[in-house]
Structure 1
């Protein structure tokens, strides 16, 4: 045991440590926001990237409302004594505790999901314990990926393409939030291709192929990969940039998978799922997203801004047939109508056109955004006494 008081180590958006009790409390809070299960079906799910953002929300909504069984995969770090475990590590331990209390059956594997060894470890567990998979949810977000065939390490970048990007951004380096200016030079073709290699659909396809090779695709198998389109305000650095190129590759991959013999034989379904804006560890690293999200939150208010949990509930209801699929012309499931509503976007553009004045109107939204970033790491969570010592060395739940 190594009980100690932990204080946040933070500079702007960058937070390098987590609070175990705070991170666990965020999981319990989300769990309570999800309606309890009413049916008897218990589909088998494999969730890649379960410990943060939309992956975590999809895990909790699937468990609480639909009684899913299966395996979650993440790549999180343990407590070292000098630095706490990652927030995802603590969230996984908290989720496992809720599952035990509810009498569920879900295992967690901490491994590099991009690696061949990681795939084998996970698929061995799925095959031995659960059998054919009904749902594969792909929600991996990583800064790099090692190609399992060539051994090359690809690094993703957040850059525009073709022309430089200049825009306002939210700056928390001073005592009060302020508007700063950023400029990003366009990414190279090599950087674009590397970002596609990390964040595109290649690894998603490899997972589906590996499941098919083990005969682990259940009849009616469904796989869904999370993506984002977003506003025209942020399009130059997102949808039209290197990340957007990766997301476009993800969507092409979906069409290729849908036409593959393995999916055809299983009468399977393949979707990309366009989620709405959210404060996640991945999104907070994208320039200008903080200011845009603060403006969006200000326009929508507390009730109309949909959390990742809200959207995950909606997604499961659509995939399970409780509500009709909300598909666009490209066959993507859309969860972002609330964000891209024309009147909402017009009001966001008005704030964006004069960002300093906009921030004066959106100060509460900016404060909310920073509080949400802290919440991701277990800081500033209601009901947690941060003056008390806690045990940061928490075991990863055994998959057995």
Structure 2
């Protein structure tokens, strides 16, 4: 079949296997090049013995999780296991981007002599945790690093069987601000209604740190964590303009819970001399962030400003910097006063945010976006679904089951 991009309410419903393969290959190429590069002012080279060798990534098929898998494997020579929830392809339907990314990555990793396996299933369930433990014992014996990079619309609590749903809403009152859609450069007003009833608490149950803690407890109980093992989860704070919908909203409550959980998990890891961290990363295009009102406009301005300053990073660059500059650079991991790793340091630089604030004042409802890179945001969104790569012939009749 000829696979084309299908979009419904700003959400892309299809993925292209050859494009996803290219997306993974581009990241592998960048990591391999920079691991050896000695004359880059922003990124330091790395020797493979500095990085962990056995890595479990919960949510390792897209975004920051996929980049973590690529960096640890192709800069550090790590054997990896991914846990993610995917839809497989059929003769007439494409898979999720994560399924194609995983197939492409695992083929390349195995060609490089690395172990690379996946557990496809509900990462929140006891059954998936048990299957993963069995696979770790069989392929890695123990793990040196556990990365928690899950995002989900719902979670069933394995202890009670109750299903909770996450929402991205402000708390207290509706939030109205300027925004843009991915398919139109015209600035508009967007309103998000406030969370109701138990929506905030449910979002914490889904996107907070409870499941992260359960994973670590399970791995400890099964004796699958190596001495000095670390675990890291990914978070976001962002600028004040997004606070009502993000940091001070339902997702922000969940992220605060995630950050507090790191301290409790670290205490739990004392017996193996391990540690838990939260890494606060920069704003990037994901399948979720692209449809949050206000966020695409902020990202269009952020991308343009950071590109002009030579500071723009995608997932790969961010995670490469996390491993080479933070987690495995020195004996002591640098953190802020709250114990968080701040990979959003370039995004939150005073000069970057001042320039974004200045450009925000140029935006007016009903007028085209001014001094922003909506095209760059749109291209990145297309590419995470396997579209928009010049090297891929999208007129080819291909089997969606083959990558």
Q: Specify the TM-score bucket, using the shorter chain as the normaliser.
A: over 0.9
Match of 1:266 among 266, 272, 275: 272
Give the alignment of 1:123-138 within 5 angstroms.
Answer: 123-138=133-148
Which residue among 224, 227, 232 is the counterpart of 1:224?
232
Residue 257 of structure 1: CA displacement?
1.2
Q: Is the 8 A contact 1:156 1:198 kept in 2?
A: yes
Give the aligned partner of residue 370 of structure 2: 361
Look up the match of 1:306. 313
Q: Structure 1 residues 40 and 305, CA, compared in 2 at 3 Å: closer, same or farther?
A: closer
Distance (Å, rounded) in 1 between the aligned partners of 2:154 and 2:402: 27
Counterpart mapping for 1:194-273 below 5 A: 194-260=202-268, 263-273=269-279
For residues 252-288 of structure 1, the C-alpha deviation after alignment (integer angstroms, 9 at most, x for no partner) is 111111122xx11111111000001111112213221
Structure 1 position 152 matched with structure 2 position 162: yes
Q: 1:43 aligns with which of 44, 47, 53?
A: 53
Does residue 116 in structure 1 map to residue 126 in structure 2? yes
Equivalent-residue separation in structure 2 for 1:70 and 1:52 (angstroms): 15
SS of corresponding position for 2:318: helix
Conserved? CA contact 1:172–1:178, under 8 Å = no
Return the offset for 1:172. Answer: 4.1
> Which residue pairs with 1:293 in the alignment?
299
Equivalent residues in 2 for 1:1-400, closer than 5 Å: 4-11=1-8, 13-34=10-31, 35-36=34-35, 38-40=47-49, 43-173=53-183, 176-260=184-268, 263-301=269-307, 303-317=310-324, 318-321=326-329, 325-356=333-364, 359-363=368-372, 365-394=373-402
CA distance in 2, matches of 1:172, 1:333: 31
Q: Distance in 2 between matches of 1:29 and 1:106?
A: 19
CA distance in 1, matches of 2:8, 2:178: 19
Structure 1's unaligned 5+ residue stretches are 396-400
* SS at 2:398 equivalent: coil
Match of 1:398 in 2: none
Distance in 1 separating the partners of 2:152 and 2:291: 12
CA RMSD of aligned residues (A): 1.8
Structure 2 distance, partners of 1:115, 1:360, is 44
Normalising by structure 1, report the TM-score.
0.93
1:68-115 superposed Cα distances (whole Å, 9 cap, x missing partner): 113111111011334211111111011011102211112111111111
Cα deviation per residue 1:160-188 (whole Å; 9 max; x = unaligned)?
01121111111245xx4211111112112
Q: Which is worse superposed, 349-358 or 202-211?
A: 349-358
Distance in 2 (CA, whole Å) between partners of 1:310 and 1:172 is 24
Structure 1 range deviating more: 4-13 or 366-375: 4-13
**Stretch moving more, 29-38 or 92-101:** 29-38
Separation (CA, whole Å) in 1 of partners of 2:357 and 2:351: 10
TM-score normalized by the length of structure 2: 0.92
- Name the SS for the 2:346 alignment partner: helix
Residues 252 and 360 (structure 1 numbering): CA distance in 2 closer, same or farther, change over 3 Å?
Answer: closer
Judge which range, 375-384 or 320-329, deviates more: 320-329
Q: Could you list the per-position Cα deviations for residues 341-378 of structure 1 after superposition, in whole angstroms to 9, with x for gaps in the alignment?
A: 11111111122234238954335x01111111111100
- Give the unaligned 5+ runs of structure 2: 36-45
Q: Cα distance, 1:40 vs. partner?
A: 4.1
Contact map agreement 1:70 1:126 (CA 8 A) in 2: no
Contact 1:47 1:136 in 2 (8 A): yes
Task: Kindly indicate whether the alpha-carbon contact (under 8 Å) linking 2:11 and 2:287 is maintained by their aligned counterparts in 1.
Answer: no
